[in-house]
Amino acid sequence: MTSPQLAAPDPVSAPTYGDVLASRDFRRLWGATISANLGESIAQVALPLLVFAITGSVATLGLVAALSMLPKVVLAPFAGVLADRVNRRSIILVCDIGRMVAVCFLPFAGSAVQITAIALVVATFTALARPAEMAAVPMVVGEPLLIRALSLIQVTGATIRVIGPTIGAALVTVLGAGPTFFAQAICFLASVVLVFGLRLPNVAPRSGAVAGPPLREELTVGFRVMWRQRAIRAIVGAEMVWGGAGTVMAIGLLAYTNLTLDLGDRAGTVFALLIAAFAAGTAVGGLLASRVEGRLGRSFMLGFGYFAPLLLIAVAFVPPLPVVAVALFLFGLSDSWLVIASQQLVVERIPDTERGRFYAVWTALITLAWAGWNGLLGNLTDWLGAPAVFLIVGLACGLGCPLVLLLTGTIRELLVSEKRPTATARPESSVLPG
């Protein structure tokens, strides 16, 4: 199938959200992303509360979270090849249907083992879908509209993540954690309907190639794509370190509201509202992204984002809840800029025919790091308590991420490339033969 070409906006004026939304296929992809994000944000509250209600252990919660991430690590190389060989719409559609069916079994789970098994199935479909989803956005909007499209997805996704935890908390209060997953299934159903009518062009074949290289060689392409560029591999490394900050938002924050603050029946609601504060920051960050990049540059967005985990240190001193909410809001703001800046960098430097396999490797490495952080922080939280974990993670990630970029010279490289935008606009040649 082919996607209708979207007329380029007037070069005199900056692209607007209206220019992006003029594409029928982007509207469908955007709507499907909103639906899926809503379901995932509801589960972000319901799943930890379900595990904690059944086991009463933060360490078990960390273990369940870590195990559920393994399919993304194991399947990522195959998912990347699939995303570059098969129509990406078909991949997303099948995986959305699979996730919709799987989450319907969670309300009937009665043990951590059963929850883990279902979570593994959901994670398997997510691992197969994610590279296709990430690589599909540049296919429905042209390069001049890409930043605005990523910004819109980030803003609306973050807005949904503000609403979702609140809805999740309300549903958990009224129905319990288990039945809340039926709402997640409905969200995936809505995504299925939208993706069903989506039109995506097939990935263009490599010029002059009659047949692709062997599968074994294709599986290593994502690693070689990442390794050939210092800035890309440095950002992947920094994101692996940053995973500790992302992990503490679930495990540490749940322990903080349920055990440190001892809020009783209000713990679930406060947990959801604090996650919503973080998501509100990502929404505002997305709205400001284009302006910040234009005035301060992408290096500032990356630098600010990677120093931002230092904000989590404030939580370690158990301040009033409004202070915690502000710290998490600013942390979310920085996260939004990280996502937009890093994705733009990937699109500029990696050809479309290799992007799916790179995203697969990106997902595998970062998920592996998150799995390790989940296991580590779950046990540390049981041992030291949530405030100490926020302090450790804030220092480790807030100093570790910038250190990776500084030691590799990535910040200096990006500053130089921002002065020569045309030099980075052309993707490097493919690492594949032919």
Q: Half-sphere exposure of residue 192, counting CA atoms within 13 Å on the CB side?
A: 14
Q: Could you please state the CATH topology (level 3) that the domain comprising 17-202+217-424 is classified under.
A: Growth Hormone; Chain: A; (1.20.1250)
Residue 124 CB burial class (10 angstroms; 0-12, 13-18, ≥19): buried
Question: Which pTM does this prediction carry?
Answer: 0.69
DSSP assignment, residue 312? G
290 neighbors 15 (Cβ within 8 angstroms): no
Single out the residue of 321, 47, 315 nearest to residue 165, CA to CA: 47
pLDDT, tens digit, for every residue of 194-244?
A: 998 888 776 555 444 444 455 555 557 667 777 777 878 888 888 889 888
**Per-residue confidence (pLDDT) for residue 297, from 0 to 100:** 76
**Per-residue confidence (pLDDT) for residue 153, from 0 to 100:** 74
In angstroms, the CA 119 to CA 61 distance is 12
How far is the CA of 312 from the CAs of 97, 144, 197, 248, in angstroms? 37, 36, 42, 9
**Per-residue confidence (pLDDT) for residue 191, from 0 to 100:** 93
List per-residue pLDDT tens for the chain, 434 residues long: 333 333 444 444 567 778 888 888 888 988 898 888 788 878 877 888 888 888 888 888 888 888 888 887 787 667 777 877 788 888 999 999 999 999 999 988 888 889 989 989 988 898 888 778 777 888 888 777 777 787 777 667 656 765 776 677 677 777 777 888 999 999 999 999 999 888 877 655 544 444 445 555 555 766 777 777 787 888 888 888 988 888 888 788 988 988 898 787 788 778 878 887 887 887 788 778 778 877 887 778 888 888 899 999 999 999 999 999 999 999 988 888 887 777 777 777 777 667 666 776 777 788 888 888 988 888 898 899 999 999 999 999 999 988 888 888 777 777 666 665 444 444 433 333 32
**Per-residue confidence (pLDDT) for residue 157, from 0 to 100:** 66
Exposure string over 244-278, b if 16+ CB within 10 A, otherwise e: bbbbbbbbbbbbbbbbbbebeeebbbbbbbbbbbb
End-to-end CA distance of the chain: 25
223: CB partners within 8 A, 6+ apart? 361
In angstroms, the CA 218 to CA 222 distance is 8
135: CB partners within 8 A, 6+ apart? 83, 84, 88, 352, 355, 356, 359
In angstroms, the CA 256 to CA 34 distance is 29
In angstroms, the CA 301 to CA 61 distance is 33
269: CB partners within 8 A, 6+ apart? 169, 173
